[in-house]
């Protein structure tokens, strides 16, 4: 075990008890600020992709509140990387409704369906900072080890096609780089991950990585 990984007492709590935990409520409040910032940066009326992203973010907000306790958590560096990779994309400026195009909208729609399904599969094991809340191996996790990151990357690829600006490219590429670092660090924390990694070879994209 890395010296930067803290072990915590194993706990089991019901979703109802999780609602009262500051460790769940405070991140949920931060996530609400992320939602607000996305709305503030998006033109009105919003495009379909912005609406769908808001819905997925709402699912994430609920999972924050009901998630189970972690038995191991990462370091402050993991916290910084996770927050930077997650919050950075909230500064993207979405397209106007009248500028919506079919191809990027379809890409984002498919990506958000997979993103939402992966989040719901992860359920109470969800978290932003690297932590062990239980290893999930069913659903999309049978095919790739990080389906949430995979669909998130596909969504923002569609976003870049829709809004091909230097600002969008810099924010998205920086986020991708941070997410890759985040993946590597997360895989060192989860118990039983070495065996899971042998069963599920691909990290994000089958046949590539």
Query: Does residue 93 or residue 35 have the better pLDDT?
Result: 93
What is the average per-residue pLDDT within 43-69?
Answer: 74
What is the average per-residue pLDDT within 46-73?
Answer: 75
133 lies in some domain: yes
60 lies in some domain: yes
Query: Does residue 94 or residue 131 have the better pLDDT?
Result: 131
18 band by pLDDT with thresholds 50, 70 and 90:
very low
> Of 45-54, 126-135, 174-183, which range is least confident?
45-54
The total number of structural domains in the chain stands at 1
Instruction: Check residue 100 and give its pLDDT.
Output: 73
4 lies in some domain: no
93 lies in some domain: yes
180 lies in some domain: yes
Separation CA 209–CA 125 (nearest Å): 24
Q: What is the pTM of this model?
A: 0.78
Nearest alpha-carbon partner for 209 in 179, 171, 188: 179
5 lies in some domain: no
For residue 125, how far is the Cα from the chain centroid? 12
Instruction: Check residue 175 and give its pLDDT.
Output: 92
> Of 3-17, 64-78, 91-105, which range is least confident?
3-17
Q: What range defines the domain where residue 19 resides? A: 13-199
Instruction: Check residue 39 and give its pLDDT.
Output: 67
- Checking if the pLDDT of 6 tops 60, the result is no
Buried/exposed 196-208: b ≥16 CB within 10 Å, e otherwise:
beeeeeebbeeee
56 band by pLDDT with thresholds 50, 70 and 90:
confident
- Checking if the pLDDT of 158 tops 60, the result is yes
For residue 113, how far is the Cα from the chain centroid? 14
Ranges of H-type helices in 45-186: 48-66, 76-87, 102-122, 147-162, 166-186
Q: What are phi and psi of 72, to 5 degrees?
A: -145, 145
What is the average per-residue pLDDT within 32-37?
Answer: 70
Q: What are phi and psi of 108, to 5 degrees?
A: -70, -35
Residues in CB range of 156: below 8 A, 6 or more apart: 89, 92, 172, 175, 176
129 band by pLDDT with thresholds 50, 70 and 90:
confident
205 lies in some domain: no
What is the average per-residue pLDDT within 53-67?
Answer: 75
209 lies in some domain: no
Instruction: Check residue 7 and give its pLDDT.
Output: 47
- CATH code for the domain of 111: 1.20.120.1630
pLDDT exceeding 90 applies to what percent of the chain? 30
Average pLDDT, the chain: 80
């Amino acid at each position: 075990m890395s010296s930067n990984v803290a072990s915590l007492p194993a706990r089991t709590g019901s979703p109802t008890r999780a609602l009262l935990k500051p460790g769940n409520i405070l991140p949920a409040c931060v996530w609400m600020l992320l939602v607000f910032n996305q709305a503030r940066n998006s033109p009105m009326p919003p495009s379909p992709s912005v609406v769908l992203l808001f819905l997925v973010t709402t699912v994430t907000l609920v999972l924050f509140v009901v998630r189970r306790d972690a038995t191991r958590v990462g370091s402050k560096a993991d916290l910084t990387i996770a927050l930077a990779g997650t919050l950075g994309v909230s500064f993207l400026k979405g397209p106007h409704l009248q500028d919506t195009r079919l191809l990027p909208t379809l890409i984002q729609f498919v990506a958000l369906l997979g993103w939402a399904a992966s989040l719901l599969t992860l359920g109470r094991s969800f978290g932003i900072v690297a932590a062990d809340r239980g290893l999930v191996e069913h659903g999309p996790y049978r095919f790739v080890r990080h389906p949430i990151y995979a669909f998130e990357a596909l969504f923002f690829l569609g976003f870049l096609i829709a809004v091909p600006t230097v600002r969008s490219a810099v924010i998205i590429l920086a986020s991708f780089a941070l997410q890759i670092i985040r993946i590597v660090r997360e895989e060192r924390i989860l118990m039983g991950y070495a065996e899971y990694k042998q069963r599920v070879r691909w990290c994000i994209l089958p046949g590539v990585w």
